[in-house]
Amino acid sequence: MTRPRFGPDVAMRTPRSPGGSTADGRLDVLVLNWRDLRHPRAGGAEVLTHGHASRLAERGHRVTMFVGAVPGAPPDERVDGVEIVRRGGPVTTRAHAVRWYRAQARAGRRFDVVVEEINTLPYFVGLAARTRCLLWIHQLAREVWWHEAPRPLAPVGYGLEGAYLRLYRATPAIVPSESTKRDLVALGFRGERVAVVPPGIYPPGAESETEKEAGLLVYVGRVTPSKRVRHLLVALAAVRSAGIAARLEIVGRAAGGERESLAAYARELKVAPYVGFRGYVGEAEKQDLLRRASLLVMASVREGWGLAVTEANILGTPAVVYDRPGLRDSTVHEQTGLVTGADPASLAAGIVRALREPGLYDRLRDGALEWGRTFTWERASVAFERALYDVAGGDHASGTPGGQ
């Protein structure tokens, strides 16, 4: 089975001896992201961000996260060894970040690396301050604009995304998948400066021998138009018409009136009794559902990786997904799940095949478990740290990944 690619063997390089401007070569790192784990709309990107930041702090690096303000959360806080600075709203946090960064510089603090996460809009701190910057792009929006933004704004957002990313094309970047890397290369980034670092996940609660519920399909993620949950409902209707007693559990926060719209559509398709809307659930309940599920299903326009796919794999659940960026990276076709055409009929055919073809389901389940075990936090965090040392350059380039 093909293993996840962590850039050009970046995670497996031989560690170098300690060096740097400090005695042990540790870094002072600033991470810019519009949300942290306290934010009510925190998602997979925030889980990964905190996971990497806290592991860097464990290894002795000084890590500061600058994020948007959260009602009820203090403006400054230390969590798991990471300094959290909260200023501004979803858009204004970027202006606050530039001012805060300049104030730190005036006070004599010099960051070795600024990690700028781009979620819809950049921070532009790296460009404004002319410091060593590393882009961290979980996914590009691209087609998502056409599903999430008002029609007059969609073409503007689509065009602006390409324009501002081209401003960064000389900047090294970290991405979770080969699909996202190809997107950046198409925008003028140099392939050798884009490191692929798939997510660290294993083990969440580790595998178990929980009995599968026949026909249970699960979707996990935000419930927004770009996730195309409507397609899952159409596929469910087709699967049931094929004689399989399937049902669908939808797990995740719904935006606006999306849940009501989907419930009405399920009634129209006559599958409402077989659809459950769980909303946001805790980690234990999510893992229980994924363990019991026969299949995880996803039909997103695009993902950075498809975190829920790998979370399901680790718990012995294969996936049937659309052939879209991120989903095609997190699912190995015919080995950990099935990658289908991007239409409900193809998805339904894949579900029916996975559940009915002799021997196929057991093979996919075994493959999913094997694949899931490769996504260790140890491997991902060492790869991430290596990328930071490469960007820091100078004496810091001799730093030792993993604190060895």
Q: What is the pTM of this model?
A: 0.84
Considering the domain architecture, whether residues 27 and 92 belong to the same structural domain is answered as yes
3-state secondary structure of 364: helix
Query: The domain that contains 294 carries what CATH number?
Result: 3.40.50.2000
Considering the domain architecture, whether residues 128 and 274 belong to the same structural domain is answered as no
The answer to whether residue 209 is domain-embedded is: no
Considering the domain architecture, whether residues 49 and 184 belong to the same structural domain is answered as yes
Residue pair 262/184 in contact (Cβ under 8 Å)? The answer is no
- Name the residue among 204, 205, 203, 199 with its Cα closest to residue 380: 199
Helices (H) and strands (E) in the chain, counts: 14, 14
Considering the domain architecture, whether residues 363 and 383 belong to the same structural domain is answered as no
Considering the domain architecture, whether residues 30 and 145 belong to the same structural domain is answered as yes
The answer to whether residue 157 is domain-embedded is: yes
Burial of 127 (0-12, 13-18, 19+ CB in 10 A): middle
Considering the domain architecture, whether residues 190 and 286 belong to the same structural domain is answered as no
Residue pair 374/332 in contact (Cβ under 8 Å)? The answer is no
One digit per residue, the tens of pLDDT, for the chain of length 404 reads 655 544 433 333 333 333 334 446 899 999 999 999 999 888 788 989 999 999 999 999 999 999 999 999 999 999 999 999 999 998 899 999 999 999 999 999 999 999 999 877 788 776 666 678 999 988 776 666 556 666 776 666 666 777 888 888 989 999 999 999 998 999 899 999 999 999 998 766 655 567 899 999 999 998 988 899 999 999 999 999 999 999 999 999 898 889 999 999 999 999 999 999 999 999 899 999 999 999 999 999 989 899 999 999 999 999 999 999 999 999 999 999 999 999 999 999 999 999 999 999 999 999 999 999 999 999 999 999 999 999 987 444 445 555 44
The answer to whether residue 244 is domain-embedded is: yes
The answer to whether residue 121 is domain-embedded is: yes
The answer to whether residue 118 is domain-embedded is: yes
Domain region containing 174: 10-200+376-403
The answer to whether residue 381 is domain-embedded is: yes
What would you report as the CA-atom Rg of the chain, rounded to the nearest whole angstrom? 22
Considering the domain architecture, whether residues 220 and 274 belong to the same structural domain is answered as yes
- Name the residue among 263, 275, 255 with its Cα closest to residue 40: 255
Q: How many domains are there within the chain? A: 2
**Cα separation, 186 vs 375, whole angstroms:** 27
Considering the domain architecture, whether residues 158 and 128 belong to the same structural domain is answered as yes
Burial of 269 (0-12, 13-18, 19+ CB in 10 A): middle
